[in-house]
């Protein structure tokens, strides 16, 4: 039975039993505290914990999941994989234990011919929580023998989020793979032979004072009891298909087979190669699915996880003897295997493949350079009798060559070495600290999501801002430092929850509105507006006048000028997107955006820089749409109807069952968008593309000024051109040629000056050599040259002076100010080195005084620092070191 057929049978069964079929949520988690959807329950958490009322009483789904905490175990066991699909059926205060157990048993044991999964009852075992006599009795009631029902403790059969809130016992269903796989006696004896396939969670209690997974206090029973079940699709598939593990199922095996073909090695020949084949099969599928959900490779967050999966794949292929690009073959195989269940991987193949292939090309170059350096580090460590590669060398590989630390760890382990991870982590922390030193947070952090639950339970915050710039409401909640309070006085910064608001909460790339909230005796300046939970708006405010309290009437007032400019920017973003697709084609899809008053930033899928003519064409198309005064209309309709109408659903956005579709000029620009927009395109005013750059191997970014800001920018450029024409006494059309002529003249003059300075330094060589003094057994020249054009000039002079000092032990240490930075070069002859003078060691002494660093060979070395005034002390330090 194919994997897709198992999933469809599951959905058909539960739809027949009055469950709403819910499409899989994105792999990009809606929960800001986790990167990915790591379990089938993640999209339903707001319904399960009561934060958001469930829109249906019972539901079923096939949820895509990614989990990488056990990435090192992938390929080594039958059940560890990074991408998996979780079949789930859910009850929100509807049926409970009896219904969940009966549904699961009927689906599992009904014959395939009647739509079931056809498991033999004799192969199924069950575990229940040790005190759950009710579940035990229900399993007995459907005919399961008592000896195939085992009781486990809270560590195995009790579910909670690990936080105060809903919890409850669970019952797990296991399949007996037979004596070939281990001892008899059920899951309590051998969980390799007995494979868990389905977990039924009975969410019936509220817990508090959670101390660990097994230690907590039960407050009492929940008023509404929920069912949360999860059946692993891959596990069911490898059992139904009669294969050994998930890597050999129909959705994964084609990639493994293609890797076998490319490598020329046989699957099943040896354990190490088999693990590599499985890693490749798993990671390619996971990468494909992440790319299909809009994740792109990067060095942070989700993008880093994707990059790690892809690079582990490349590394595994290299260990199988393949050092050329293989993604075109491997990803195509995965696309064909997954397209039946997920047509998007075929529909978006151009974008997905472009991103994957570019990442492989980049990393193959990284491997070529980084592997050589790492091999030298391994060799040096072994030659010195060491067992651990230095942390600074691992950091250099990561920071300079883009060589990921996990790959360094793997290669070191293969060579029988470890890596000084503590030193590496320290250097990483220092780097992050430096990067963040000047960064300022744009907005205050929101409170813990659980704090908002009671407010969300009162209903959704009504947003009136599409039509109104002022709205009367009342204060439902006040939060100070994450805690609910009754009042807030002048000068305090708090969060305010209103029943209705005209203020737009940041989302969809549009920043939050500016404005005020006013009421009897108080005025609040709005600093930020966010949605901490779906359907709930929180206003971060500063109390500027009076005191605000719970229950008081409050009027939200939008800054009209700022909103007008924000609307212009958001509509302009849609126009630029349409112009990009019109110019570059349908694959130039949005990958992120930011729009605020007078400005837009737009990221899109594209792998090469735009020419000046292409940029001009895009700008002209967008501004023509402004000039044509196209109607901007919005409709609220179902997601399916919007997609059928051709609306673009953008990656990274979360959509409900109903969506808001924004048309500009009918179908010319049709996108799903909750932002605020102008009424006609002419209101945008003007779009001025001011920048285009790379934001990754497969993404580009355009920036534009909009409306009055665009006019001001063009007016400033006009004034600048006017000033240049006057100063250079050159007509406007001849300015480029005149500036090029002046630039060429300046470069020629700089070249002549540099040559003159180099000759002047060379002329000083005899006098410098004559100034040599004794320092221990050496003759030492330690002088400052003043200023120099480059460090190379200082180095050249140092070598020339050294050559003039003959064969006696001689050391030359010359310093100079090169562009405001202190540079020191040390050169030694063979006799000096034999007497113990090493140029690299001496440079480090001087560089330490100068506030910097340096190093090099024993015969010549270079260093420097930021403190030019310390040069005399640095040269003295060298003299003292030689004399000691």
How do residues 756-798 score in pLDDT, each as one tens digit?
877 877 888 888 888 889 888 889 999 998 888 788 888 989 9
CB neighbours of 174 closer than 8 A, spacing ≥ 6? 124, 125, 126, 127, 186, 187, 191, 194, 195, 196, 197
How far is the CA of 56 from the CAs of 181, 283, 456, 646, 761, in angstroms? 42, 35, 17, 28, 84
Token representation of residue 44 = 């339903």
Give how many domains the chain has, as a whole number.
5
Residue with tokens 């060491």: 386
19 is in an annotated binding site: no
Evaluate if residue 148 carries a pLDDT over 90: yes
Q: 111 and 33, same structural domain?
A: yes
In sequence order, what are the residues at sequence separation of 6 or more whose Cβ sits closer than 8 angstroms to the Cβ of residue 317? 259, 262, 263, 276, 280, 323, 326
CA atoms within a 13 Å half-sphere pointing along the CA-CB vector of 515: 25
Q: Quote the pLDDT of residue 438.
A: 41
Contact at 8 Å (CB) between 580 and 621? no
Q: Going by C-beta distance under 8 Å and a sequence separation of 6 or more, which residues neighbour residue 288?
A: 331, 334, 335, 338, 345, 352, 356
Using left for φ > 0, alpha for ψ between -120 and 50, and beta otherwise, residue 160 falls in: beta
Q: How many angstroms separate the CA atoms of 43 and 63, rounded?
A: 9
CB 62 within 8 A of CB 233: yes
- Are 345 and 421 members of one domain? yes
Query: Is residue 443 in a domain?
Result: no
Q: State the pLDDT confidence band at 439, using cuts at 50, 70 and 90.
A: very low
In a domain? residue 291: yes
Tell me how far apart the alpha carbons of residues 413 and 418 are, in angstroms, rounded to a whole number: 6
Is residue 730 assigned to a domain? no
Residue 787 shares a structural domain with residue 851? yes
pLDDT value at position 118? 95
Closest by Cα among 850, 764, 869 to 842: 850
b vs e for 780-812, b when ≥16 Cβ sit within 10 Å of the residue's Cβ?
Answer: bbbbbbeebbebebbbbbbbbbbeebeeebbbb
Residue 222: phi and psi, rounded to 5, are: -75, 145
Residues 29 and 161 in one domain: yes
CA-based nearest residue to 700, from 596, 583, 565: 583
* Residue 364's pLDDT band (cuts 50, 70, 90): confident
Q: Which residues pair with 229 in a beta bridge?
A: 200
d(CA 860, CA 840): 7
Length of the chain: 884
Q: What average pLDDT is seen over the chain? A: 89
Contact between residue 346 and residue 335 where contact means Cβ atoms under 8 Å apart: yes
In this structure, what token pair is assigned to residue 255?
């990639």
Nearest Cα to Cα of residue 409 among 388, 431, 429, 426: 388
User: Is there a single domain that holds both residue 282 and residue 379?
Assistant: yes
Any binding-site annotation on 570?
yes
Q: How far is CA 509 from CA 134, 362, 542, 599, 625, in A?
A: 50, 29, 24, 12, 22
745's CB contacts (< 8 A; 6+ apart) are: none
pLDDT score at 79: 65
Which pLDDT band holds residue 183 (cuts at 50, 70, 90)?
Answer: very high
For residue 604, being part of any structural domain is answered with: yes
Task: Please tell me the least confidently modeled range out of 133-142, 155-164, 488-497.
Answer: 155-164
Q: What helix, strand, coil percent values describe the chain, rounded to 5?
A: 45, 25, 30
Other beta carbons within 10 angstroms of residue 303's beta carbon come to 16
C-alpha–C-alpha distance, residues 163 and 235, integer Å: 29
For residue 653, pLDDT over 60 is answered with no
* Residue 724 maps to a domain: no
| CA atoms of 64 and 26, how far apart (whole Å) | 7
- Does residue 727 belong to any structural domain of this protein? no
674 DSSP 8-state letter: -
Task: Say yes or no: 543 and 623 in one domain.
Answer: no
CA distance 359 to 355: 6
Pairwise CA distance, residues 686 & 655, whole Å: 31
Cα→Cα distances 347→30, 63, 373, 586, Å: 24, 20, 41, 11
Q: Given CA atoms 647, 650, 656, 662 in this order, what sign does their dihedral have?
A: negative
514 part of a folded domain: yes
Which pair of structure tokens corresponds to residue 242? 């009669």
In a domain, 330, yes or no: yes
- 121 lies in the same domain as 263: no
Binding site annotation covers 539? no
Write out the residue range of the structural domain in which residue 710 sits.
Answer: 567-715
**pLDDT-based confidence at residue 447 (cuts at 50, 70, 90):** low
Is residue 271 annotated as involved in ligand binding?
Answer: no
At 125, list the tokens: 């075992």
Rounded (5°) CA angle 139-141-146 = 55
Query: H or E segment at 419?
Result: strand 418-419
User: Cβ distance 875 to 863 under 8 Å?
Assistant: no
Tell whether 78 and 183 lie within a shared domain. yes
Mean pLDDT of 32-58: 83
Confidence of residue 162 (pLDDT cuts 50, 70, 90): confident
Residue 307's alpha-carbon distances to 64, 406, 849, in angstroms, are 19, 12, 42
Residue where a domain terminates, one of 680, 699, 715: 715
Mean pLDDT of 737-759: 85
Burial of 180 from C-beta contacts in 10 A (0-12 / 13-18 / 19+)? exposed
Is the entire prediction scored with pTM above 0.75? Answer: no
Q: Are residues 515 and 596 in the same domain?
A: no
Could you tell me which residue, 287 or 425, shows the higher pLDDT? 287
260 and 237 together in one domain:
no
The pLDDT confidence band at residue 441, using thresholds 50, 70 and 90, is: very low
How much is the pLDDT for 448? 60
Give φ, ψ of 730 to 5 degrees.
-135, 135
Instruction: Tell me the sheet residues that pair with 815.
Output: 784, 824
Residues 820 and 789 in one domain: yes
Q: How confident is the model at residue 440 (pLDDT cuts 50, 70, 90)?
A: very low
Q: What is the mean pLDDT of residues 412-416?
A: 82
> Residue 582's domain is classified under what CATH number?
3.30.980.10
pLDDT of residue 131: 92
pLDDT of the residue at 276: 93
| Final residue in a domain of this structure, among 558, 591, 618 | 558
**Cβ-contact 66, 250 below 8 angstroms:** no
Task: Tell me how far CA of residue 215 lies from CA of 161, 166, 453, 703, 880, in angstroms.
Answer: 13, 15, 24, 53, 66
Which CATH number does the domain housing residue 851 bear?
Answer: 3.10.310.40
- Tell whether 181 and 290 lie within a shared domain: no
What integer pLDDT is reported at residue 134 of this predicted model?
95
pLDDT at 204 over 60: yes
CATH, residue 26: 3.30.930.10
Query: What pLDDT shows up at residue 212?
Result: 87
Q: Which of 59, 108, 66, 105 is nearest to 85 (CA)?
A: 66
Domain boundary among 408, 436, 464: 436
Closest to 538 (Cα-Cα) out of 548, 528, 546, 547:
528
Percent of the chain with pLDDT over 70: 96
Render the burial of 362-390: b for 16+ CB within 10 Å, e for the rest.
bbbebbeebbeebeebbeebeeeeeeebb
Overall average pLDDT of the 572-591 stretch = 90
CA angle 426, 303, 357 (to 5 degrees): 120
Domain of residue 542, CATH code: 2.40.30.130
């Amino acid at each position: 039975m194919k994997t897709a057929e198992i999933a469809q049978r599951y959905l058909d069964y539960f739809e027949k039993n009055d469950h709403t079929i819910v499409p899989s949520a994105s792999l990009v988690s809606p929960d800001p505290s986790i990167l990915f959807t790591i379990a089938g329950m993640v999209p339903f958490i707001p319904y399960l914990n009561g934060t958001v009322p469930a829109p249906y009483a019972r539901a079923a789904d096939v949820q895509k999941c990614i989990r990488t905490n056990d990435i090192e175990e992938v390929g080594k066991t039958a059940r560890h994989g990074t991408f998996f699909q979780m079949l789930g059926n859910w009850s929100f205060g509807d049926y409970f234990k009896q219904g969940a157990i009966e549904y699961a048993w009927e689906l599992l044991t009904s014959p395939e011919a009647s739509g079931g999964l056809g498991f033999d009852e004799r192969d199924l075992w069950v575990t229940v929580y040790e005190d759950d006599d009710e579940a035990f009795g229900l399993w007995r009631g459907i005919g399961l023998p008592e000896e195939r029902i085992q009781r486990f403790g809270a560590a195995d059969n009790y579910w909670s989020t690990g936080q105060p809130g809903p919890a409850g016992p669970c019952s797990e269903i296991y399949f007996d793979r037979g004596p070939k796989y281990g001892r008899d006696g059920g899951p309590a004896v051998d969980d390799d032979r007995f494979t868990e396939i389905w977990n039924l969670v009975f969410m019936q209690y509220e817990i508090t004072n959670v101390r660990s997974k097994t230690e907590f206090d039960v407050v009492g029973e929940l008023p509404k009891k929920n069912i949360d079940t999860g059946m692993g699709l891959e596990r069911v598939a490898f059992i139904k298909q009669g294969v050994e593990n998930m890597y050999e199922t129909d959705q994964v095996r084609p990639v493994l087979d293609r890797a076998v073909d490319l490598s020329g090695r046989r699957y099943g020949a040896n354990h190490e190669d088999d693990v590599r084949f499985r890693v490749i099969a798993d990671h390619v599928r996971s990468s494909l699915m992440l790319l299909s959900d809009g994740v792109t490779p990067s060095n942070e967050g989700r993008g880093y996880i994707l990059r790690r999966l892809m690079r582990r794949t490349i590394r595994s292929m290299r260990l199988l003897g393949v050092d050329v690009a293989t993604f075109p073959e491997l990803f195509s195989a995965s696309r064909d295997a997954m397209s039946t269940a997920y047509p998007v991987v075929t529909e978006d193949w151009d974008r997905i493949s472009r991103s994957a292939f570019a990442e492989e090309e980049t990393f193959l170059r990284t491997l070529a350079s980084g592997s050589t350096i790492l091999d030298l580090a391994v060799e040096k460590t072994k030659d010195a009798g060491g067992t651990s590669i230095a942390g600074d060398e691992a950091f250099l590989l990561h920071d300079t060559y883009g060589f990921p630390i996990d790959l360094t760890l793997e290669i070191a382990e293969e060579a029988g070495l470890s890596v000084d991870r503590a030193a590496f982590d320290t250097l990483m922390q220092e780097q992050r600290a430096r990067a963040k030193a000047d960064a300022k947070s744009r907005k205050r952090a929101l409170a813990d999501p659980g704090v908002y639950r009671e407010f969300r339970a009162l209903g959704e915050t009504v947003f009136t801002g599409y039509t109104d710039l002022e709205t009367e409401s009342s204060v439902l909640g006040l939060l100070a430092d994450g805690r609910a309070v009754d009042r807030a006085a002048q000068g305090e910064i708090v969060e305010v929850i209103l029943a209705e608001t005209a203020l737009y909460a940041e989302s969809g790339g549009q920043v939050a509105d500016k404005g005020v909230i006013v009421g009897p005796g108080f005025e609040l300046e709005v600093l930020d507006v966010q949605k901490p939970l779906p359907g709930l708006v929180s206003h971060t405010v500063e109390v500027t006048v009076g005191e605000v309290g719970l229950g008081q009437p409050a009027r939200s007032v939008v800054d009209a000028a700022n909103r007008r400019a924000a609307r212009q920017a958001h509509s302009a973003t849609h126009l630029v997107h349409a112009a990009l697709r019109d110019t570059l084609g349908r694959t130039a899809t949005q990958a992120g955006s930011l729009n605020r008053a007078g400005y837009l930033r737009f990221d899109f899928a594209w792998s090469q820089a735009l020419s000046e003519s292409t940029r001009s064409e895009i700008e002209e198309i967008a501004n023509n749409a402004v000039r044509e005064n196209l109607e901007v209309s919005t409709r609220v309709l179902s997601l399916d109807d919007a997609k059928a109408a051709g609306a673009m659903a953008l990656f990274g956005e979360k959509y409900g069952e109903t969506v808001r579709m924004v048309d500009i000029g009918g179908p010319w620009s049709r996108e799903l968008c909750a932002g605020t927009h102008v009424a006609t395109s002419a209101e945008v005013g003007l779009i001025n593309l001011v920048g285009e750059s790379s934001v990754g191997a497969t993404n580009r970014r355009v920036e534009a000024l909009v409306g009055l800001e665009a006019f001001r920018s063009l007016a400033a450029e006009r004034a600048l051109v006017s000033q240049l024409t006057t100063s250079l006494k050159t007509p406007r059309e001849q300015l480029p040629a005149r500036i090029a002529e002046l630039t060429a003249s300046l470069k020629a003059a700089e070249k002549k000056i540099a040559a003159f300075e180099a000759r002047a330094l060379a002329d000083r060589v005899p006098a410098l050599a004559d100034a040599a003094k004794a320092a221990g057994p050496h003759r030492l020249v330690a002088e400052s040259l003043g200023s120099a054009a480059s460090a190379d000039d200082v180095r050249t002079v140092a070598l020339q002076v050294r050559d003039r000092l003959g064969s006696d032990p001689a050391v030359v240490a010359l310093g100079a100010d090169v562009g405001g930075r202190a540079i020191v070069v040390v050169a030694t002859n063979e006799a000096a080195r034999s007497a113990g003078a090493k140029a690299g060691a001496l440079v480090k002494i001087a560089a330490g005084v100068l506030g910097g660093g340096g190093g090099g060979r024993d015969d010549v070395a270079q260093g420097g620092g930021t403190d030019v005034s310390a040069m005399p002390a640095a040269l003295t330090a060298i003299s003292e070191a030689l004399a000691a």
